[in-house]
Chains A and B, each alone.
Chain A
Amino acid sequence: MGAPFREHPKLCFTLLALGLVLVMVASLTVGSKAVNIPVERVVGIVLSRLPLIGRKMPEYSDKDISIIILVRLPRLLMGVLVGAGLSVSGSSMQGIFRNPLASPYILGFSAGGALGASIAIVLGLGLFWLPIFAFILGMSTAFLVFFLGRVNGRIDTPSLLLAGIAVGSFMGALTSYIKFMSHRGLQDIVFWIMGGLHGSMWSHVFILIPLISVSSAIVLFFSRELNVLQTGEESASQLGVEVQRSKVILLCVSSLLASAVVAFTGVIGFVGLIMPHSARLLVGPNHRHLIPTSAVLGALFLVGCDTLVRLMGNMPVGIVTGLFGAPFFIYLLVKNRGDTGW
Chain B
Amino acid sequence: MVILETVGLKGGYNGENVLKGIDLRLESGGFLGVIGPNGCGKSTLVKAISGVLPRVYGDVRLKDELISDMSRKEIAKVVAVVPQKAYISFPFSVEEVVSMGRTPHLGRFESVVGEHAVKVEGSLEAVGLSEMADRNVRDLSGGEFQRVLLARALAQEPELILLDEATSHLDIGHKLDVLGLVSRLNKKEGLAVITVHHNLNLAARFCNEVMLMDQGEIHAIGRPEEVITPNHLRAVYGVEAEVNKDVRNGSLYVVPLIKGDHKTPKNKVVHVVGGGGSAEEMMKELIEEGYEVTTGVLNAMDSDLKAARFMSIEAVIESPFSEISPLKMKENISKMKEADVIVVAPFPIGPGNLRNLKSVEVCAKEGSRVILIKDGDVGARDYTEGEAVAIWGMLKNIDNVKICDEPSDLNELLEKIL
A231 close to B97 (CB less than 8 A): yes
Does A224 make an interface contact (CB < 8 A)?
A: yes
A238 close to B97 (CB less than 8 A): no
Shortest Cβ distance from A153 into B: residue: B54
A226-245 interface code vs B (CB 8 A; 1 in, 0 out): 01101110110111111100
When distances are taken between beta carbons in the complex, the residues of chain B under 8 Å from A221 are: 108-109
Task: Flag the segment in B88-96, B188-196, B211-219, B358-366 that touches A.
Answer: B88-96
B91 close to A240 (CB less than 8 A): no
CA A238 to CA B70, docked complex, whole Å: 13
CA A281 to CA B305, docked complex, whole Å: 69
Does B76 make an interface contact (CB < 8 A)?
A: yes
Does A74 make an interface contact (CB < 8 A)?
A: no
Task: Flag the segment in B45-53, B247-255, B308-316, B375-383 that touches A.
Answer: B45-53
Known: A235-B83, A238-B79, A239-B156. A341 touches B91 (CB 8 A): yes
Q: Which of A1, A240, A280 contacts B136 (CB 8 A)?
A: A1
Shortest Cβ distance from B76 into A: residue: A240
When distances are taken between beta carbons in the complex, the residues of chain A under 8 Å from B96 are: 227, 286
CA A234 to CA B75, docked complex, whole Å: 13
Does A188 make an interface contact (CB < 8 A)?
A: no
CA A243 to CA B71, docked complex, whole Å: 12
Does A36 make an interface contact (CB < 8 A)?
A: no
Shortest Cβ distance from B87 into A: residue: A232
List residues of A (255-286) whose CB comes within 8 Å of B's CBs: 280, 284-286
Number of residues from A at the complex interface, CB < 8 A: 28
When distances are taken between beta carbons in the complex, the residues of chain B under 8 Å from A310 are: none
Does A152 make an interface contact (CB < 8 A)?
A: yes
* Cβ of B72 to closest chain A Cβ, rounded Å: 5
B81 close to A238 (CB less than 8 A): yes
Task: Flag the segment in B99-107, B257-265, B407-415 that touches A.
Answer: B99-107
A239 close to B92 (CB less than 8 A): no
When distances are taken between beta carbons in the complex, the residues of chain A under 8 Å from B106 are: 224
Does A177 make an interface contact (CB < 8 A)?
A: no
A98 close to B89 (CB less than 8 A): yes
Shortest Cβ distance from B14 into A: residue: A152
A1 close to B73 (CB less than 8 A): no
A228 close to B100 (CB less than 8 A): yes
CA A286 to CA B80, docked complex, whole Å: 22
B90 close to A280 (CB less than 8 A): yes
Shortest Cβ distance from B74 into A: residue: A240
CA A285 to CA B136, docked complex, whole Å: 11
* Cβ of A151 to closest chain B Cβ, rounded Å: 10
B47 close to A231 (CB less than 8 A): no
CA A240 to CA B14, docked complex, whole Å: 24
When distances are taken between beta carbons in the complex, the residues of chain B under 8 Å from A280 are: 90
- The winner among A224, A228, A280 for most chain B CB atoms within 10 A is A224
Does A128 make an interface contact (CB < 8 A)?
A: no
B51 close to A230 (CB less than 8 A): no
When distances are taken between beta carbons in the complex, the residues of chain A under 8 Å from B71 are: 242
When distances are taken between beta carbons in the complex, the residues of chain B under 8 Å from A342 are: 89-90
Does B20 make an interface contact (CB < 8 A)?
A: no
* Cβ of B221 to closest chain A Cβ, rounded Å: 24
When distances are taken between beta carbons in the complex, the residues of chain A under 8 Å from B72 are: 237, 240-243
A239 close to B76 (CB less than 8 A): yes
* Cβ of B320 to closest chain A Cβ, rounded Å: 52
CA A240 to CA B52, docked complex, whole Å: 11
When distances are taken between beta carbons in the complex, the residues of chain B under 8 Å from A235 are: 81, 83, 86
B100 close to A231 (CB less than 8 A): yes
CA A224 to CA B112, docked complex, whole Å: 10
B80 close to A230 (CB less than 8 A): no
List residues of B (130-177) whose CB comes within 8 Å of A's CBs: 136, 139, 152, 156
B104 close to A237 (CB less than 8 A): no
When distances are taken between beta carbons in the complex, the residues of chain B under 8 Å from A237 are: 50-52, 72
* Cβ of B146 to closest chain A Cβ, rounded Å: 14
A1-16 interface code vs B (CB 8 A; 1 in, 0 out): 1010000000000000
* Cβ of B354 to closest chain A Cβ, rounded Å: 65
B108 close to A284 (CB less than 8 A): no
* Cβ of B322 to closest chain A Cβ, rounded Å: 58
B91 close to A285 (CB less than 8 A): yes
CA A152 to CA B86, docked complex, whole Å: 25
When distances are taken between beta carbons in the complex, the residues of chain A under 8 Å from B81 are: 235, 238
Q: Which of B52, B73, B89, B136 contacts A230 (CB 8 A)?
A: B89
Known: A235-B81, A238-B80, A241-B103. A230 touches B54 (CB 8 A): no
List residues of B (18-64) whose CB comes within 8 Å of A's CBs: 47, 50-52, 54
Known: A238-B50, A242-B72. A339 touches B91 (CB 8 A): yes
Does B205 make an interface contact (CB < 8 A)?
A: no
Shortest Cβ distance from A151 into B: residue: B14
B52 close to A234 (CB less than 8 A): yes
CA A98 to CA B50, docked complex, whole Å: 23
A240 close to B88 (CB less than 8 A): no
Known: A227-B100, A235-B81. A285 touches B92 (CB 8 A): yes
When distances are taken between beta carbons in the complex, the residues of chain A under 8 Å from B86 are: 231-232, 235
List residues of A (293-342) whose CB comes within 8 Å of B's CBs: 339, 341-342
Does B402 make an interface contact (CB < 8 A)?
A: no
Q: Which of A230, A234, A239 contacts B101 (CB 8 A)?
A: A239
CA A285 to CA B100, docked complex, whole Å: 13
Does B77 make an interface contact (CB < 8 A)?
A: yes
Q: Which of B75, B87, B92, B156 contacts A227 (CB 8 A)?
A: B92
When distances are taken between beta carbons in the complex, the residues of chain B under 8 Å from A285 are: 90-92
A240 close to B77 (CB less than 8 A): yes
Known: A285-B92, A342-B90. A239 touches B100 (CB 8 A): yes
B87 close to A240 (CB less than 8 A): no
Shortest Cβ distance from A100 into B: residue: B89
B270-310 interface code vs A (CB 8 A; 1 in, 0 out): 00000000000000000000000000000000000000000
7 closest Cβ pairs, A-B complex: A285-B90, A240-B76, A240-B104, A240-B73, A238-B81, A240-B103, A239-B103
By a beta-carbon cutoff of 8 Å, the part of chain B in contact with chain A is 14, 47, 50-52, 54, 71-73, 75-77, 79-81, 83, 86-93, 96-97, 100-101, 103-104, 106, 108-109, 111, 136, 139, 152, 156
Interchain residue pairs with CB less than 8 A apart (8): A3-B91, A227-B92, A238-B75, A238-B76, A240-B104, A241-B103, A285-B91, A341-B90
By a beta-carbon cutoff of 8 Å, the part of chain A in contact with chain B is 1, 3, 98, 152, 221, 224, 227-228, 230-232, 234-235, 237-243, 280, 284-286, 288, 339, 341-342
Besides A230-B88, A230-B90, 18 other A-B contacts (C-beta < 8 A): A152-B14, A224-B103, A227-B96, A231-B86, A235-B83, A238-B51, A238-B75, A238-B80, A239-B103, A240-B103, A240-B104, A240-B156, A241-B72, A243-B72, A284-B90, A284-B91, A285-B90, A286-B92
